[in-house]
A and B are shown apart, each in its own frame.
Chain A
């Protein structure tokens, strides 16, 4: 092992394994995760050439190969718990997308939740056995987040008892669904349902798209790959165009809404249930933000401990770049953020599971808040992680730009989560809608519960004239609990300000929608402040659960850094409302720098605790053993440009030119 890294690990003040247990949710969970990881890592079937050297088509092929094997082995090993499947899959695909993602993650679950028993008999087992491979075709070229705008039509023909599917315009072509381009032979298509001359809104239909046996597109179906993207090379995101394509009436998913043989439409009972799936997927993105940022931090921090550059003191050897304050300032707040997001992700998942229990008993009262909260947190964490991964890459200097660092790959794989499953700005505005609604409730004398309960206090204090936040808090900068109060005051102020601006716009006799649009920048700020508060609060709450004193100490430092750094980056908010004074802001900045030095000795141990296997990390710079330079050279030698010593373009172009000039 590299001597620098060995020294770093020896100097840590806590045992990384204990922290790993906390992240996994218990020592037994860590053990199980590592068992599953070993099953994949030690399996020669899952080995392959470095993906960086493969073309898109080759990467797709590898992914399909591994997916097929994975499905078989999951059954062979009897792995059925959803979380264990998720782990196994992420080890097999090393955190990268997989063409069967939509089949396993959307097609099968949608059949389970929205198909009638008769439909399940017909489709579920063949799909489970992969005779049917499906995808979920919702997004169109012209419409994404705004679902009601989708244009694909499904018109019921009672004469033949069929639905006629059409893509009436260029913009209505289904565009982006994963696995649609080349892999799937079926798709669940979302289309506007027309029956008896009336539009009944969006409904889901099971549509066969390719011939079983030959895999050729069926007549009336145009399907293909949408071409290269920023990342997601192994995924065949596809397009789908349908021309008078007929499917039997029984192919509409009819557990809730129904079309009877004569064309009579029967309405569904409740639409709240669809919230559930969205909450679930967005909670996965929060967890993914944490994991992706953790991977980038692991790489950047280990490399910063191995890399020596320049001089801090004349005459002394070159220091580790991690000893520079500017480098610590780039990386440690991100490390703290990664931990914060881990705990937020775990919280949403737990809350979701708890509420899902309630849902089956019919209690949906907590769902709107959770839905609103996850929308905002999805946006907040993915934006932050996205910028953070990029920061980690730049902190690795030039070598970070090489694909051998692994960070470019993490970045391009992660960044679409800012736009998919709900574009982030739209998500923030959904949270804002809930915040404003809660504020209005409080103003009219009702009490609100949950994460927004701070709005209750706001009203009690309104008897006094000035801004609420201005007088309530005395902030103790070394106490996370006190910092939570400061963030709470900021959130309260922003929600109130946005709500009042909205009111003012309405008083200018603007339409509701115009007023909302004119206030939307404020509203996004309010949501951000609310999410920031929730994160600081959850991180702080986590500290009390940690029993080991050494681990609690280091987590407390990270929590303080997270909270204080957040203040130092948003000083305007805290100053403008008078939550903090100029002098306190100066102290906050000073304290942030002190914390950098405090965390420095534990930095490597803190990323070791994330416990990423080298094969999963996929980085030469971030290797556990720190032997960076020799392995960079070995890696480069495998580059396709090095396959021959003299490149063919020498004969084609260079030699020709030299002869001519």
Chain B
């Protein structure tokens, strides 16, 4: 181990192993996770060694190979979809695996299909007799589902639906696994029966032959071409021309077209929202928080190995993490990774409770759950995406090398701001919920527990007297609460005012959207800080865990005030002089956390193979690894084709032959 990194680990203020167990939710989980990671990483089929040198085709092939091999592996190891190991598999593979949409295909059938449909399709899918995808988004429409243009017309004479892509913009575009792999897909289309449109419904459509994988008649499908990332996934396009599927292929748990063309609706469709909520909650951890933890690990380890310039004349060059500006870039994001980990736990609990209620046919929690998952998905992915990028840039030039592992983390996490609901639109969905609750609370009606604070508006000033007061969770949580209430109430007032002055409701809404987004962010930020503070209070004091978590919580909270000063100064809740105290406390904390920075990322417990980074490995042998890995690049192992063809004539002055 590089001595610069070893020295950072000598005197941590807390037990790293205990903190890892806390993050895993108990040491038993840590054991299971390590066993899964070990089993996967020791298997050469799952190796990611060449990841950075592969073409799109090679990456896709590797992802398919891994997905196929995973079935075998799970069988060998005795892992099942319901077992404790399952949730660690994706983490161990770093998501570089195909057939994720196959899972969504199965889930949509389980949720939207009738018992008969479930009995028919799920076993086939489980056995991989077919490979599924999920075709919702079109070229011209994404988040706004009602605008989809694909049609499914019921033909009463043959008892079939006829599916069509009426124009270019109606072509299905983006569905994963559909460009090359899938044999079947769930197509969302506008249902027409006897000339009447009944809105968007799901249909199971076979798109490729089960025998030779050729496209079925009437189907045009292919890959949508290179993207910023996700090169291992064959996101596809799909065009349908008079494709006929039987009446039984419309997923009919909630709606059915009967043989005579009668359209029947049954049960509550609210459960649909629940699926979306589930996906959003799941992706917060997998696609946003874990990547941020990885980025922090790489950037912080590298920042104690890298030495640059001198802090004091005559001394050796300083570790770059000793520069205050470097600490200011990385440590708040480290704190955020912890904050988001805890908010994710909170969401998960809320979600599990909601699920139990729904099992009992009680849908009361759904609006709150939906608002929560939308707002936090948007806030956390947005924050993590920019934080990962900051980590990349904090590694100077070497961060820009793919071998650092940071560019691929960065391009991948960027997609999370768009998929499963574009972030701005999600913020506005939460806004609708908050405004509604605020109105209800003002009128004295009951509101869900997470927003009762809206009713308890207390005007006043922040009571802090010196910089130490700002290390009190009560003080900063209050400040966040105050800011959230102020932004929500002032936007609600403005909305009311516009409507009363005669502006139409939807126009008034559009005129307030910029402020609404700001208000939702303040709300989510408040809940995150509050939850972090409450979590810290419950932690055991042993092993120094509570103490270091308290520092991180303080840093997260004060960083938020420091970087959104205007929000807190407005109205004078925090005065200019108090803002100087915030800054002072905030900068003090950087120096405190600096000492534990490496143990704090070690606690995330990523293996070197998981990180796949020349800069971030545990032993800190950064430069040797960078040099070794670069030699494996095809640009070095293969001959230079441009030399014979262009450079040689150029150098030898035979340009005329070009």
Contact = CB atoms under 8 A, between A and B. Distances in A.
Interface stretch (A281-289, A440-448, A457-465, A645-653): A645-653
Interface string A128-155: 0111010000010111111001000000
Contacts of A309: 141-144, 147
Interface residues on A, range: 35 or more
B234 interface: yes
B592 interface: no
A429 B579 CA distance: 23
Given A145-B308, A419-B393, A572-B566, A654 B181 contact: yes
Given A171-B623, A404-B225, A593-B511, A182 B311 contact: no
B655 interface: yes
A401 B396 CA distance: 25
A514 B312 contact: yes
Contacts of B640: 182, 215
Contacts of A645: 214-215
Main secondary structure, interface of A, reads helix
B228 interface: yes
B57 interface: yes
B61 A398 contact: no
B52 interface: yes
B634 interface: yes
Contacts of B116: none
A601 interface: no
B399 to A, nearest CB: 7
Contacts of A129: 653
Interface string A621-643: 00000000110110111111110
Nearest to A318: B147
Interface string B377-408: 00000000010010011001111111100010
Contact of A419 (B214, B329, B386, B396): B396
Given A57-B638, A139-B397, A229-B402, A313 B228 contact: no
B353 interface: no
B570 interface: yes
A212 B313 CA distance: 45
B237 interface: yes
B182 to A, nearest CB: 10
Contacts of B375: none
B60 A647 contact: yes
Given A170-B623, A652-B61, A661-B127, A312 B308 contact: no
A64 B317 contact: no
A429 B325 contact: yes
Contacts of A385: none
Contacts of A52: 225-226
A226 B424 CA distance: 39
A578 B576 contact: yes
Given A60-B642, A402-B227, A326 B634 contact: no
Nearest to A420: B397
Contacts of B649: 68
A652 B60 CA distance: 12
A400 B142 CA distance: 12
A425 B646 CA distance: 40
Interface in B605-658: 623-624, 626-627, 629-636, 638, 640-643, 645-653, 655, 658
A424 B624 CA distance: 27
A650 B507 contact: no
Contacts of A642: 179, 222-223
Interface stretch (B154-162, B187-195, B413-421): B413-421
Interface stretch (B4-12, B89-97, B168-176, B259-267): B168-176
Given A632-B139, A633-B171, A654 B307 contact: no
Contacts of A219: none
Given A325-B513, A402-B225, A575 B566 contact: yes
A227 B418 contact: no
B142 A130 contact: no
Interface stretch (B64-72, B78-86, B535-543): B64-72
Interface string A509-544: 001011001111100100000000000000000000
Could you say which of B143, B403, B640 has the most chain A C-beta atoms within 10 Å of its C-beta?
Answer: B640
Given A636-B222, A641-B179, A649-B60, A227 B635 contact: yes
A57 B402 contact: no
A654 B64 contact: yes
B432 interface: no
B310 interface: yes
Interface string A145-186: 110010000000000000000000011010110000111010
B651 to A, nearest CB: 6
Contact of B52 (A145, A228, A589): A228
Interface in A54-113: 55-57, 60-61, 64-65, 68-69, 72
Contacts of A415: 393, 400
Nearest to B648: A215
For the complex, would chain B's binding face be called helix, strand, loop or mixed by DSSP majority? helix
A573 interface: yes
A556 to B, nearest CB: 22
B550 to A, nearest CB: 22
Contacts of B137: 398
Contact of B579 (A183, A576, A582, A630): A576
A582 B574 CA distance: 12
B169 A146 contact: no
A517 B147 CA distance: 55
A261 B213 CA distance: 76
A227 B565 contact: no
Contacts of A308: 140
A639 B225 contact: yes
Interface string B298-331: 0000000011111111000100001111101100
A657 B66 CA distance: 12
Interface in B509-539: 510-511, 513-515, 517
A65 B645 CA distance: 9
A72 to B, nearest CB: 5
Nearest to B641: A61
A398 B645 CA distance: 39
A28 to B, nearest CB: 32
Nearest to B490: A586
Nearest to B212: A646
Interface in A570-596: 570-578, 582, 585, 589, 593
A276 interface: no
A21 interface: no
22 contacts: A65-B658, A175-B397, A183-B647, A215-B640, A224-B633, A239-B630, A325-B514, A326-B514, A329-B514, A424-B393, A517-B323, A520-B324, A521-B324, A573-B566, A575-B576, A641-B57, A642-B222, A653-B64, A654-B64, A654-B181, A655-B213, A661-B128
Interface of B: 52-53, 55-57, 60-61, 64-65, 68, 71, 127-129, 131, 137, 139-144, 147, 168-169, 171, 173-174, 179-181, 210, 212-215, 222-228, 234, 237, 306-313, 317, 322-326, 328-329, 386, 389, 392-393, 396-403, 407, 410-411, 414-415, 417-419, 422-424, 428, 504, 506-507, 510-511, 513-515, 517, 564-572, 576, 579, 587, 623-624, 626-627, 629-636, 638, 640-643, 645-653, 655, 658
Q: Which 8 A-B pairs have the closest CB atoms?
A: A572-B565, A571-B566, A641-B223, A225-B635, A227-B633, A230-B407, A572-B566, A310-B144
Given A61-B646, A311-B144, A646-B213, 13 more contacts: A65-B646, A68-B655, A133-B651, A182-B643, A212-B651, A225-B636, A226-B626, A229-B402, A312-B506, A416-B400, A511-B312, A520-B325, A633-B139
Interface of A: 52-53, 55-57, 60-61, 64-65, 68-69, 72, 129-131, 133, 139, 141-146, 149, 170-171, 173, 175-176, 181-183, 185, 212-213, 215, 224-232, 236, 239, 307-314, 318, 323-326, 329-330, 387, 390, 393-394, 397-404, 408, 412, 415-416, 418-420, 423-425, 429, 511, 513-514, 517-521, 524, 570-578, 582, 585, 589, 593, 629-630, 632-633, 635-642, 645-650, 652-658, 661
